[in-house]
Structure 1
Amino acid sequence: MKFLLYTTLIASLFVSNIEAIWVPKQGTTWNYVLKGGEHINVSKETAQVVDLDFTHKSKISELHSKGIKAICYFSGGTLESFRDDKDQYYKVDGLIKTKYEEFSDEIWLDHRKEGLKPLIENRIKRAVSNGCDGLEIDNLGGYKHKEVQKWSDPLTEEDTVRFARWLAKTVHSYGLSIGLKNVLSIVDIVGDDFDYAINESCVVYNECKRYKNFLKKGKAVFGVTYDGVSSNQKGLCSNLNGLGISMIVKSGSSSDGLVQDGVIFDGKKYCGDSFNPGKY
């Protein structure tokens, strides 16, 4: 009887943990703010992406007091030079690889190395301690980049799918939700494993419709477009029509640290009455 009561208690705690995971609905408004610029607001946002290390837990508590959920950011596929735990990464044989040419302060990682997993888990634990509601783990698409393709044993799509699924399963085990960042090449493969998606460039590359199956499952897609509405208006209207993507438009570029002001894209306002915002 004692064993039965114990197992029942454990099962109920597990269920409670799963039920406690915050999962945004389609149409959730959001903002993308990294590198210490968490004071910047988008009108009526109900979720905000903030950096795991640059955002103090008191700020996350403040967001919660305003009814705003916190999605905490870090890179899982690269090592960012400013992270406090960077020295631990250099201790794992074969983990540190080549420079990320687009971002000089980042180095690609061989995420097949088992030694990476406890380092990622330590960051997840810190996110839990800080009060984060979800995680955005960036740079999973290294296998598509030329720097990685030049390795003697480069990452493959299969490697990436395996890593992405491990991330999703592990993050969920700590009671947090997780968003799939970019890497549209595997969205239809791992879409069921992730709670929402975050994309920085689908308007620029005319790729937003690749989220169609993901959206059909009722999952939220958060999009961000840079350099203002006027320079992207045509692309925004054509890409977002009929899709339920929550798009914000930043006034500057991604290199600004995502602290610049932005607006929630209103398709009816910028594209006309025929614009279909999609089904929420």
Structure 2
Amino acid sequence: MRIRPRRPAAVRPLRRIVSAGVVLVLVVPAYGCRRELTPPGAPTPWPAAQARHWQWQWQLDGPLDPTVDADVFLLDPVATTAAQTAELRTRDRRLICQVPVGSVRSTDPDASRVPAAVQGAPGPRPGSRWLDVRAWDALEPVLADRFRLCRGKGFGAVALADADGYAHRSGFPLGFDDQLLFNRRLAQLARALDLSPGLVNDVPQLAALAPDFDFVVNEECVRLDQCAKLLPFVDAGKPVFHVEYTGSTDDFCVTTVGYGFASIRKERALDAWREPCALP
């Protein structure tokens, strides 16, 4: 009778550890996916000489149209596939992912990672809740993985959405300085992950945050009479990507292109349709 040699005892625990590791990899949520798929080699550059000459597209809904005549695409990193970003990059498009940093929805892939204690009043997105941005230690790992998802899918820049909870009834006593600190930390985090950081709205803080961010995305500064507050970015040679949902481009383009903005008209659904202002 042949006697099989016994496997060393140290091997068996190692085998169990490896198996457990495989399970952990499999259960990482979509926002936590860290698989690198030909990402850009560096954060997206925004040459100051081109600041007044960008054309852009903002699409968060409907089938992605990669043929839109725009230099810059602002997209949802969860809905957008790596194959789509790869196609856009073959067309020399600059890609920005939009990441909600100040709110969470129960349907977000990483919602279970956000402690209930930092979730407050109903937020800006349907079914969302504002976050307590003072709780950096709890939020940083979740937001870092959201940024890594952008990076892994080939985006070179990230636009921070819902970054103005202090200006709303968030359910927390957030102050102006609380939000400034949080937004600056996120800009640093984005740069550490080779992403160019930008802000969506948060108009009252733009002057203070212009040195920290590379671009700004603004909704309806003409209708709200806020366009002059975006000028710190223009003065710094940084892009201002602006959209209006009402009115005619014949009316608002003269003003916004004169300011130096990249302006378009969109439907609020943010599907593929757009009407751009002519470049200067």
Same fold (TM over 0.5): yes
- Following the alignment from structure 1 to structure 2, what is the Cα–Cα distance between the partners of residues 264 and 24? 20
Going from structure 1 to structure 2, the CA distance change for 1:260 and 1:127 (only over 3 Å counts) comes to closer
Structure 1 residue 75 displacement after superposition: 0.5
Larger radius of gyration: 2
Q: Deviations over 1:92-113 (max 9, x none)?
A: 252111112x532211111111
Please state whether the residue corresponding to 2:159 is helix, strand or coil: strand
Cα distance in structure 1, aligned partners of 2:76 and 2:154: 13
Aligned to 1:261: 273
Q: Residue type of the partner of 1:77?
A: G
Counterpart pick for 1:37 among 46, 55, 63: 63
Q: Choose which of 94, 110, 113 in structure 2 pairs with 1:88.
A: 113
CA distance in 1, matches of 2:145, 2:239: 27
The reply to whether residue 237 of structure 1 matches residue 233 of structure 2 is no
- Structure 2: 5+ residue runs without aligned partners? 1-40
Give 2:263's aligned residue.
Answer: 247
Calculate the aligned-residue CA RMSD, in Å.
Answer: 1.9
Q: Is residue 198 of structure 1 aligned with residue 198 of structure 2?
A: no
| Identity, % of aligned positions | 25
Partner secondary structure for residue 55 of structure 1: coil
Match of 1:28 in 2: 54
How many residues are aligned here?
235
Task: Assess, with a 3 A threshold, how the Cα gap between structure 1 residues 215 and 56 changes in structure 2: closer, same or farther.
Answer: same
- For 1:184 and 1:204, the matched residues in 2 are separated by 14
| Paired residues for 1:207-226 under 5 Å | 207-226=226-245
Runs of 4+ more than 6 Å apart: none
Rounded to whole Å, the distance in 2 between the matches of 1:189 and 1:29 is 26
The yes-or-no answer on 1:136 pairing with 2:159 is yes
Q: Verify the 8 A CA contact 1:53 1:83 in the aligned structure 2.
A: no
Residue 241 to residue 85, structure 1, CA distance change in 2 (3 Å): closer
- Tell me the distance in 2 between the aligned counterparts of 1:241 and 1:136: 21
| In 2, Cα distance between equivalents of 1:22 and 1:260 | 23
Structure-2-length-normalised TM-score = 0.78
Structure 1 length normalisation: TM-score?
A: 0.78
Q: Kindly indicate whether residue 115 of structure 2 is the aligned counterpart of residue 110 of structure 1.
A: no
Q: Deviations over 1:145-197 (max 9, x none)?
A: 1x22xx3x411110000001000001001111011110011111111010111
Q: Pick from 155, 160, 181: which aligns with 1:162?
A: 181
CA drift of 1:28 comes to 1.5
CA contact 2:98–2:158 (8 Å) conserved in 1: yes
Name the residue aligned to 2:103: 78
- CA distance 1:103–1:175, shift in 2 (3 Å): closer
- The one-letter code sitting in structure 2 at the alignment partner of 1:30 is W
Unaligned stretches of 5+ in structure 1?
Answer: 1-18, 268-276
Deviations 1:77-98 (A, max 9, x none): 1113332111111xx2521111
